[in-house]
Amino acid sequence: MIEQFQHKLTNSFMLWFDNYLLTKGQAFTNTTGNFYNYTDTRIGSSYKAYGSPYKQWVADSSIAGANIPNGVYVDGSFSGRNDGVILDFDNGRALLETNSSSLSVTGSFAVKDFNIYYSNETEEDLIVENKYMVNSRIPSISQSYIDPYDQAVPAIFLSLASMDNRGFALGGLQETSVRGNAVVLAENPYQLDGVLSIFADSKDEAFNAIPMTGNPFNEYYDLKDGTYSYTDLKNQYSDGKPFYINDSTTSKLTDKARKSLANDLYVGFIDFDIQQHRYRHQ
């Protein structure tokens, strides 16, 4: 199937949301540390996985002050992509083209305060089951790698729900409204209030429509071109038909409700009304 309106919106919304949170909230921490070897049967046998203690590194070089990695130090020497290193920004790890499992690997990177995921799960499924590993952003004494692939909190789960078209102008111009939701799972009230405050103020923001081909990540969640700047990317797609946040409302799960879930996480919701004026089938 060729790319549809909803596909383009999903891609654009995810990239915008990530950039907006990191820019407005400086929601990241620059970190330096050891990487730990582990076995991952999903990757090719010519690679070894060395994981950092944190998932989801910042990849966007337009975030001021964020340390975007280009490689790692292997036994004290820098190894970059030209040396066969793959940086997996989503799982917070480096894949090294080696047979050795005992290398000393270190690196510097910026870790996001919140992991960001796209989800099709219902809100109740997201918040009720105690299914997430907690990947606290507070460093602990006994550090190790974080398991890949599983979703970890603190996190924000984005989804796009209903969509409807209304006639807007003669000639077939439509006002397309899409309801977007974000479920925020935070470690503490400070984090939660911060995110909700940032996105409550996102009303009237606009973001460019970036097609899936413009997504900066490859299948390993490394950068396709070795570098990515949201600012540069969005400027490539400034066709004058941006999406805009027509409305944004935030709310928190009450403390009483939270306690009845016996959940240590602080839960918030952001409801977006995203609009675009367009001709259908375009």
Partner 1 sequence: MKLPADVQKSLEKQVPKVLKRDFESTFKNKFEELKNEMIKEFLTHPVTIEIKDGPSASNISGTLGGATNLFAFIGFNEGDDPITPILEILQNTKYRRTKENKGAQEFTVDLPQIKEIFSAAPMPWASGRSWAQGIEVGISGIGYLLRKNSSNSRSGAAIQSRTKVRGGKFQNVPYISAIIRKYEKKFSKLK
Interface residues with partner 1 (CB under 8 A)? Answer: 122-124, 127-130, 161-162, 179, 249-254, 256-257, 259-263, 269, 271
Q: Where are the beta strands (DSSP E) in 113-154?
A: 115-118, 133-134, 152-153
CB of 87 to partner 1, least distance (A): 35
Shortest Å, Cβ 261 to partner 1: 5
Rounded CA gap, 84 and 137, in Å?
29
Beta bridge partners of 118: 158
Burial class of 248 by CB neighbour count within 10 A (0 to 12, 13 to 18, 19+): buried
Closest CB to partner 1 among residues 102, 162: 162
Using the minimum distance from each CB to partner 1, give the nearer residue, 94 or 153: 153
Nearer to partner 1, 132 or 237 (CB): 132
For partner 1, the closer CB: 62 or 203: 203
**CA neighbor of 92 nearest in space, from 150, 46, 6:** 150
Distance CA 275, CA 178 (A): 6
Q: How far is CA 174 from CA 136, 243, 276, in A?
A: 44, 13, 8
Ramachandran sector of residue 262 (left: φ over 0; alpha: ψ -120 to 50; beta: rest): left
Residue 179 CB, shortest distance to partner 1, in Å, is: 6
Helix residue ranges, H only, 123-268: 123-128, 189-200, 230-236, 255-260
Shortest distance (Å) from residue 218 CB to partner 1: 34
- How far, in Å, CA of 88 to CA of 222, rounded? 5
CB nearer to partner 1: give 188 or 254: 254
Nearest 5°: phi and psi at 232?
-65, -40
Least distance in Å: CB of 249 to partner 1?
Answer: 6
Q: Smallest gap, in angstroms, from Cβ of residue 247 to partner 1?
A: 9
238/249 with CB nearer partner 1: 249
Nearest to 63 by CA among 110, 108, 114: 110
Nearest CB to partner 1, comparing residues 215 and 263: 263
**Smallest distance from partner 1 to CB 255, Å:** 10
Question: Which DSSP string do the residues of 231-261 spell out, in sequence order?
Answer: HHHHHHT--S--EEEEEEEEEE--HHHHHHT
